[in-house]
Structure 1
Amino acid sequence: MKVLLNGESIQLAEEIVTVADLLTHYEIQEKVVVVEINGEILTRVEHQSTRLADKDRIEIVHFVGGG
């Protein structure tokens, strides 16, 4: 499926079905992240159950420590 991820059009692999799969694929599943799908912010619990669909607009923001 093709989605818009952080403003970039990408083709996702077949095995990426949920938001949790997407975070695992990009190796950010353990980080503190905010995920927005089509303008709606998800809770961390929703990552496992939220299925991705063709043409979804996905924004992922993760925090970087530092001073």
Structure 2
Amino acid sequence: MQIHVNGQVRETTSGTTVADLLRELNITGERVAVEVNLDILERGQFGQRLLTEGDRVEIISFIGGGSL
């Protein structure tokens, strides 16, 4: 099936969860936010939220660091 991830079309299999997608994309860590079809998901939903044909997923990763 096709979904949109950060504006780009991506093929994935039926039954893929948000957590599966993050693993496929090698995105790890706690500083990530995910929105599916304009709904911001809580981290606890990543493993349960199934993706469906045409879903629009936005993934934002927060990076800390630097000095002042």
Structure 1 length-normalised TM: 0.87
Output the CA distance in 2 between the equivalents of 1:25 and 1:56: 16
Task: Tell me which stretches of 4 or more aligned residues in structure 1 moved more than 3 Å.
Answer: none
How far did 1:15 drift?
7.1
Equivalent residue letter for 1:20: A
Structure 2 unaligned residues grouped into runs of 5+: none
Does the C-alpha gap of structure 1 residues 5 and 47 become closer, same or farther in structure 2, counting only changes over 3 Å?
same
Structure 1 unaligned residues grouped into runs of 5+: none
Does the C-alpha gap of structure 1 residues 5 and 34 become closer, same or farther in structure 2, counting only changes over 3 Å?
same
Q: Contact conserved, 1:16 with 1:22, CA < 8 A, in 2?
A: no
Aligned to 2:2: 2
**Equivalent pairs, count:** 66
Q: Contact conserved, 1:37 with 1:58, CA < 8 A, in 2?
A: yes
Q: Contact conserved, 2:14 with 2:51, CA < 8 A, in 1?
A: no
Aligned to 1:45: 44
Q: Choose 1 or 2 for highest CA Rg.
A: 2
Q: What is the RMSD of the two structures over their aligned residues, measured on CA atoms? A: 1.5
Alpha-carbon deviations, 1:23-55, whole Å to 9, x = none? Answer: 111111324100000000000000010000000
Output the CA distance in 2 between the equivalents of 1:21 and 1:56: 15
